[in-house]
Structure 1
Amino acid sequence: MASIYVYSPSGAVRDRAGLRRALRRLQAAGHDVVLDEAALARHQRFAGDDETRLAAIARAAASGADIALTTRGGYGLTRLLPRLPYEAIDAAARRGMAWVGLSDFTALQLAVLAQRGTPTWAGPALLEDWAGATVDEITAACFDDLARGVGEGAGWRLPAADLRAYPNLAQGWRLQGATLWGGNLSILANLVGTPFLPAVEGGVLFLEDVGEHPYRVERMLTQLLLAGILPRQRAVLLGAFNRYTLTPHDRGFRLETVVQWLRAQLGGVPVLTGLPFGHVPTKVVLPVGRHVELVVEGREALLFWG
Structure 2
Amino acid sequence: MILPQRLQKGDTVGIIAPAGPPNQKQLKQSYSFFQELGLHVKLGKFTQSVYGYLAGTDEQRLIDFHEMVRDSTVKAIFFARGGYGTGRLIPNIDFQLIRNNPKIMWGYSDITYLHTAIRQQTGLVTFHGPMAASDVGDPTFDALSAQSFQQLFTPVKLHYTEAISPLHTYVSGKATGRLVGGNLSLLVGTLGTPYEIETKGNILLIEDIGEVPYQVDAMLNQLLLAGKLQEVAGIVVGDFAHSEGGKGPTLSLQDVFSHYFSTLSCPVMAGFRIGHCFPHFAIPLGTEAMLDTTKKELKICAGVQ
- Report the TM-score, using the length of structure 2 for normalisation: 0.89
Distance of aligned partners of 1:247 and 1:195 in 2 relative to their CA distance in 1, 3 Å threshold: closer
SS of aligned partner of 1:205: strand
Of 20, 25, 30, the residue aligned with 1:17 is: 25
Q: Partner of 2:185 in structure 1?
A: 186
1:251-303 C-alpha deviation (Å, 9 max, x unpaired): 5x11111111112232x1222101221100211222212222334453x3122
Distance of aligned partners of 1:155 and 1:219 in 2 relative to their CA distance in 1, 3 Å threshold: same
Q: What does 1:1-306 align with in structure 2 at a 5 Å threshold?
A: 1=9, 2-13=11-22, 15-64=23-72, 65-93=74-102, 97-146=103-152, 148-157=153-162, 159=166, 161-162=168-169, 165-166=170-171, 169=172, 174-176=174-176, 178-247=177-246, 249-251=248-250, 253-266=251-264, 268-298=265-295, 300-306=296-302
Distance (whole Å) between structure 1 residues aligned to residue 279 and residue 12 of structure 2: 23
Shift of the alpha carbon at 1:249? 1.9
Gaps of 5+ in 2: 1-8
SS of aligned partner of 2:83: coil
1:112-148 C-alpha deviation (Å, 9 max, x unpaired): 12222222111111012211113211111111222x1
Distance (whole Å) between structure 2 residues aligned to residue 156 and residue 276 of structure 1: 11
Count of residue correspondences: 290
Distance of aligned partners of 1:196 and 1:248 in 2 relative to their CA distance in 1, 3 Å threshold: closer
The percent identity for this pair of structures is: 28
* Matched AA of 1:221: L
Shift of the alpha carbon at 1:88? 1.4
Shift of the alpha carbon at 1:89? 2.0
SS of aligned partner of 2:109: coil
Distance (whole Å) between structure 2 residues aligned to residue 73 and residue 87 of structure 1: 24
1:234-256 C-alpha deviation (Å, 9 max, x unpaired): 101110111235146225x1111
Bigger fraction of residues in helix: 1
Q: Is the 8 A contact 1:156 1:276 kept in 2?
A: no
Distance (whole Å) between structure 2 residues aligned to residue 124 and residue 286 of structure 1: 10
Q: Is the 8 A contact 2:109 2:183 kept in 1?
A: yes
Q: Is the 8 A contact 1:114 1:195 kept in 2?
A: no
Distance of aligned partners of 1:104 and 1:161 in 2 relative to their CA distance in 1, 3 Å threshold: closer
Q: Is the 8 A contact 2:34 2:41 kept in 1?
A: yes
Q: Is the 8 A contact 1:5 1:63 kept in 2?
A: no
Distance (whole Å) between structure 2 residues aligned to residue 222 and residue 278 of structure 1: 21
Distance (whole Å) between structure 2 residues aligned to residue 92 and residue 154 of structure 1: 29
SS of aligned partner of 1:175: strand
Distance (whole Å) between structure 2 residues aligned to residue 36 and residue 17 of structure 1: 16
SS of aligned partner of 2:180: strand
Q: Is the 8 A contact 1:4 1:68 kept in 2?
A: yes
Q: Is the 8 A contact 1:5 1:60 kept in 2?
A: yes
Distance (whole Å) between structure 1 residues aligned to residue 79 and residue 167 of structure 2: 35
Distance (whole Å) between structure 2 residues aligned to residue 160 and residue 240 of structure 1: 11
Distance (whole Å) between structure 2 residues aligned to residue 292 and residue 43 of structure 1: 39
- Report the TM-score, using the length of structure 1 for normalisation: 0.89
Gaps of 5+ in 1: none
Shift of the alpha carbon at 1:159? 4.2
User: Which shifted more, 153-162 or 253-262?
Assistant: 153-162
1:217-247 C-alpha deviation (Å, 9 max, x unpaired): 1110110001001110010111011123514
Distance (whole Å) between structure 2 residues aligned to residue 35 and residue 275 of structure 1: 32
